[in-house]
Amino acid sequence: MAFPTTSVGSRAMLGKSVVAAAPRGQDLRVIDMRVLTTDDWKLWRTLRLAALAEAPYAFGSRLADWQGAGGREQRWQDRLAIPGSQNLLASLDARPVGMVSGVPTGEDGVVELISLWVEASARGVGVGDALIRAVERWARSNRATALRLAVRYGNGHAVALYRRHGFEVVAGADVVENGQREMVMVKPIDPR
Ligand SMILES: CC(C)(COP(=O)(O)OP(=O)(O)OC[C@H]1O[C@@H](n2cnc3c(N)ncnc32)[C@H](O)[C@@H]1OP(=O)(O)O)[C@@H](O)C(=O)NCCC(=O)NCCS
């Protein structure tokens, strides 16, 4: 955690949970986590296009691949309908600012964290932490034993965030995505 977080409780309601974070003595901010369905594809599209435009250094997908002919409604709905996946949207003080997905892999017990993004103005207040914790909860509820991700070399903020959450680099497991080298990080999931 980058700063002390004050939790004023959490509640589960139709896939929502609410936590509150108090960054460095400032006003209490409310982070709301919501599970998306295919009906939410426009909301997902808005955030994902913003992510690809703002942080092209972080993703294998390119903005142009999801615009024009590549940005059909069906394609966005299919993205949200990956079997066994969960897609989450985070709001900060009721404004959508972040996203992440948990998706299955071909490997037994191993699930993957993808598409993590927090809008620049909402960074540093715990939204990334909340998104990662939510994916971990999803992984645990799916009886996964490990959560994996790939992150580009040089994406220091993301790597620091993942390390804080207990992810470790898997030596010799680098992958190349769109010509960019990525390290693979894994966190064992405690079945508690
Ligand atoms: C990685 C990411 C999700 C972290 O979000 P977050 O909620 O701000 O995470 P943290 O709270 O860990 O940020 C810690 C600090 O780093 C800063 N920070 C985080 N990402 C930053 C960035 N890309 N540029 C500059 N500063 C950044 C935060 O403002 C905060 O600063 P502070 O400690 O001075 O307040 C976010 O930076 C992001 O969306 N980056 C672009 C997409 C990306 O890299 N995704 C991961 C793909 S593997």
Cβ atoms of residues 100 and 132 within 8 Å: yes
**Position in ligand 1 atom list of the atom nearest CA 123:** 8
Q: What is the pTM of this model?
A: 0.89
Instruction: Tell me which of 19, 88, 119, 123 to substitute to probe ligand 1's pocket, judged by most ligand atoms within 8 Å of the beta carbon.
Output: 123
| Helix (H/G/I), strand (E/B), else coil: 120 | helix
Render pLDDT for 77-123 as a digit per residue (tens, 0 to 9): 999 999 999 999 999 999 999 999 999 999 999 999 999 999 999 99
Domains and CATH numbers, the chain: 16-145 (3.40.630.30)
According to DSSP, the residues that pair with 78 across neighbouring strands are none
